[in-house]
Structure formats: C-alpha cells, structure tokens
Amino acid sequence: MKLLKQLFILLFIFSAGILRAQEDVVVFLTGSLSDAQKLSQAYLEPFGKSLGTSLNSGWYNVAKPHGILGFDITFTVPVTIPASSDKSFDVSKLSLDYWDVKSGSNPTTPTVIGNSSNTTLNDKNTGTIELNMPNGADLKFIPAPMIQISKGLPLNTEIIGRFFPTVNISGVGDFGMWGVGVKNEFKEFIPFLKSLPFSMSLLFGYTQLKSTFDINEPQKQHLDFKSSGYTARLLVSKSIPVLTVYGGVGYNHSTTDIALKGTYSFDGVDVTDPVAFDFANNGFTANLGLRFKLSILAFHFDYSFGDYGIINAGAGITFK
C-alpha cells in the first residue's frame, strides 16, 4: 500500500495544476449558472479528453498471446501529451448570458493545460462587476499509471486485467482504475495467414477510471472525474532474441464525466452540485514500439499517433 500511495502522489505531482484548477472552477460560480457551466466546460475540456484518451493505451507490448501456462505482471505509465491547440479558448465564442469580454481585454484565455491569463470579463448590464479568468496549470503531460496482469488461455487467447486500487490521500483526493481486455492470435486458424513470419492478433479492451479532487473536505465539496474508454486493435509484432518490434492500428472511444459536487453559495443562495458536463473523444489510432526482454524481465516503450500523442513506457516480469 505504501508503494501505491507513492505512485498516487507521483500522479498528482505530475498533474499538480489540476489541484489548483478545481478551485478555479469555483471562481466561475458568479453571474449565472449557465455561464458557469460553459466556462467550466471550456476550461477543463482538454484535461478531460486527455485523461480519457490515455485509458486506451498501454494494453500490449507484443502481439503474440501467452501460452496456457504463461503470464506477465507489468507496471505501465501512459503519458498523454495535450495538443497545443487545446491550450486556450476564445471566451467571446461561448455565447455567455451574463458576462462579456471587457473592452481592451484579450478574449483568448488559457484552458487548464495552458499558461497565464490576462483576460477580464465584466457584466453585460452595468459593466462594473468583473471576473478575472484563471491561469492555466501549464500541464505538459498527463500520466495514468496502472498495473496490468495478462494470462494465457486456450485457443491462442490471452485475458488482460489492469487496475490501480483506489487510494485516498487526505486533503488531495482519491484515484482508482480497473479494466479488462482480451487478445487472440486469429491468424493461427487461417491457413494462408498462419505461415506469415510474424504474430498477428486482435485486441479489445475497456478501462474505467474514477478520481475525486477535494476542494473543501469538511464541507464535502469536490470535483469528480469519471472516465471510461474502449479500444479495438489489430496488432502485429516480430520477435528476435531480446528484441520485439510491435505495433497496432485500430479505433478508440472515450467519455469523461466531470461534476462539481457539494453545496456552494451563489448570489446569496445555496446551490447543490451546480456544474456537470461530459466530453467524448473517438477516432482511429496507431502505435509503434519496442520491447526488450532479458530472461523474465521485459521493458517496453511505444508512441501512439492521433489527436493526442501518447508516450507509453513500462517494465514487468513475464513467463511465456
């Protein structure tokens, strides 16, 4: 459990800016709830999509399934690199009801992954009430560490489980993850494919992640994230002693639900669970990587191409 806590803390150190971003979302609770929803969604969308995208990575480092007695235990860390275009958004395009961009202020303001802001909003009615848009957290990457176990089954099939047991850190929040996948080397059942000098398999995987960032623990105020994703891939790999070259092409889909939970004061009125929205992200993807195997130890590294680049690295023990 000590190791899990250290990994959990490491995750939040890498994503430390989101801890500040949770408080920034509360700043949007002025003007109108409709505007708070729009501003929060635009501000957090890149983090939500990056988090969801990372769940579909790291499923494999070789196409060939384990034999019936084979298994592996691997620690892997997919690291999503947010797109540069997601570092800012134009407030003037949100069609806000209460707020307008103050005259002379820059309408382009950072998202949570962006940098500093110099955008000020004022109310449309009198122009005397102002809202300074929050800075971004300058997130360069978003990691999602996990432990993965694979076990060989009959008929050239492998079952894969991934998890990160829910760990709670007082004053920070909690984080937990689970997923299940299956891999099958179908070419072994097709005569004209069986003779090909490389492994070829199909993989399907599903992952779910839940996390809570505490805002005010005594008052039960927190920002909740729930992401789920599935991927379907065609995998190929070629192994020589020590080295395996692997890759895959396929389709990813992910959704992320974000909700601001608790009771908050809004214009003198208490409002419960004031903000909730979700993001979806899908599309085709491809990755290419290398695995080095030294006795029972294996180390891998790969890169996934798509709207969000993903670097994945890990190490584990494997018995074929």
pLDDT at 11: 54
Angle between helices 33-54 and 17-27 (to 10 degrees): 160
The C-alpha angle 145, 149, 155, rounded to 5 degrees, equals 140
Structure-token pair, residue 118? 């110099």
Q: What secondary structure does DSSP assign to the chain, as a single string?
A: -HHHHHHHHHHHHHTTHHHHHHHHHHHT-SS-HHHHHHHHHHHHHHHHHHHHHHTTS-S-S-SSPP-TT-EEEEEEEEEEE--GGGGEEEGGGS--SSEEEPTTS-SEEE-TTS-----EEEETTTS--EEEPPPP---S-EE--EEEEEEEETTTEEEEEEEEEEEEETTTEEEEEEEEEEEE-GGGGSHHHHTSSSEEEEEEEEEEEEEEEEEETTTTEEEEEEEEEEEEEEEEEEE-SSEEEEEEEEEEEEEEEEEEESEEEETTEEEES-EEEEEEEEEEEEEEEEEEEETTEEEEEEEEESSSEEEEEEEEEEE-
Q: What is the pLDDT of residue 1?
A: 45
What are the φ/ψ torsions at residue 96 (nearest 5 degrees)? -70, 150
Global pTM reads 0.88
What is the reported pLDDT for 14?
47
What is the torsional sign of CA 5, 6, 7, 10?
A: positive
pLDDT (tens place) for every residue of the chain, 320 residues total: 454 445 555 555 444 455 555 567 788 888 889 999 999 999 988 888 888 888 899 999 999 999 999 999 999 988 888 888 889 999 999 999 999 999 999 999 999 888 888 899 999 988 888 999 988 888 888 888 889 999 999 999 999 999 888 777 666 677 788 999 999 999 888 888 888 899 999 999 999 998 888 777 778 888 888 999 999 999 999 999 899 999 999 999 999 998 999 998 887 788 999 999 998 989 999 999 999 999 999 999 999 988 788 999 999 999 87
- What is the pLDDT, as a whole number, of residue 171? 65
